Amino acid sequence: VREHAHDLLEFLIFDSVSVPLMKYAYRRACHGDPYTLRGTARSPGIRDGCWLPPHCDELASALEVVITHRLERTPELLTKMFGAQALKEDVPFHTVIVGALIPLLDFDEFLPTVVPGLVASMGQFRHSSDNWVRAAVARYLESMSSTQAHRFCDEIVGGLERCLTGGSDAARFLEPFLNCTAFLLDSGCCPQELAPLLFEKVEKVVWRDLSNLTLISAAIPVLVGLLQWPRIRRSILTLLLRLLGHGFPRLRVAVAQALYLRFLEDGDFDIGDEPGGSAIPAD
């Protein structure tokens, strides 16, 4: 699907013949104008700039990079996107397409569409290509300012909310969003000010269906990752301790192991509402 989408974008952006047709399609989809030539004659004129999309030069540059790589494998591109390890292994072409689109996260217009695609690509933990996408996102976030990283994480939190309120189709993406959030927390990319809101969303996921072991298992690393901020630790620990009494033994084991490893990492573990309020001693 990614390769077909790439081919379509390549055709639309680089083939000048398609531009007038796309202007009609844009007016039909976004402004409700009729498709027929007779209807078009009565409708407002098609303004210049409807198509191509915003930041089309950057989008075209990203596609050109992919086209170049498809014609001839470019080690420099792989290293820039995924790191030196990519030279030693075979990176799938569809993953290169995703990596090429990551710089579009710099633009607000692309965030709502690119982020869900990245989440679907990096949050499944079922294919080796997911690891490459996570590596590319991590490299991008490390090179960006805290403001840009904040915008990316904002979109993740918003995506969780949309999954919770969007019905069964949207709920299918809860697990990838949770896995992606755990990855961001583990990478140190999630800003502290988003932690309370993020905990609120994850808590909703947990109580949404206590029999859904898949979602609760995906929520555990997020909750443990949020323990790095003392002000919300008490609430998180309360939820995790309640999960220790869950009816499914496998889930109880997962929570216990996650907490045990977290306590080992942190030494004296402050659980007060304020830093230094009270602590679990390391011994």
Q: Does residue 55 lie within any of the structural domains?
A: yes
pLDDT value of residue 121: 79
Give burial (CB, 10 Å; 0-12/13-18/19+) of 49: exposed
Query: 236-247: per-residue pLDDT in tens?
Result: 999 999 999 999
Q: What is the mean pLDDT of residues 192-199?
A: 92
Are 106 and 156 in contact by the 8 Å Cβ rule? The answer is no
**Which pLDDT band, with edges at 50, 70 and 90, does 272 fall under?**
low
Q: Are residues 121 and 170 in the same domain?
A: no
Cβ-count burial 96-116 (b if 16+ within 10 Å, e if not): bbbbbbbbbbeeeebbeebbb
CB atoms within 10 A of CB 172: 12
CA 197 → CA 38, 158, 246, distances in Å?
51, 10, 24
Residue type (1 letter), 201:
K
Domain coverage including residue 240: 153-269
Average pLDDT, the chain: 77
Measured CA to CA, the distance from residue 266 to residue 218 in angstroms comes to 22
Q: Are residues 3 and 119 in the same domain?
A: yes
pLDDT value of residue 11: 65
Which segments of 15-145 does DSSP mark as H helices, in order? 18-31, 37-42, 56-71, 75-82, 93-101, 111-122, 128-143
**Which pLDDT band, with edges at 50, 70 and 90, does 171 fall under?**
confident
Q: What is the mean pLDDT of residues 122-139?
A: 74
Are 136 and 99 in contact by the 8 Å Cβ rule? The answer is yes
Q: Are residues 199 and 261 in the same domain?
A: yes
Residue type (1 letter), 135:
A
Lowest mean pLDDT among 66-80, 139-153, 159-173, 178-192: 66-80
The number of folded domains in the chain is 2
Whether the predicted pLDDT of 25 surpasses 60: no
Query: 36-82: per-residue pLDDT in tens?
Result: 433 333 333 334 444 456 677 787 788 787 777 776 777 877 788 88
Whether the predicted pLDDT of 174 surpasses 80: yes
Measured CA to CA, the distance from residue 24 to residue 45 in angstroms comes to 10
pLDDT value of residue 40: 37
pLDDT value of residue 254: 94
Q: What are phi and psi of 279, to 5 degrees?
A: -150, 155
Q: Give Dmax over CA atoms of the chain in angstroms.
A: 81
Lowest mean pLDDT among 3-7, 63-67, 125-129, 149-153: 125-129
Q: Does residue 45 lie within any of the structural domains?
A: no
Residue type (1 letter), 236:
I
What is the share, in percent, of the chain residues with pLDDT greater than 70? 72
Q: Are residues 105 and 202 in the same domain?
A: no
Q: Does residue 232 lie within any of the structural domains?
A: yes
Rounded (to 5) percent helix, strand, coil in the chain: 70, 0, 25
Q: Does residue 133 lie within any of the structural domains?
A: yes
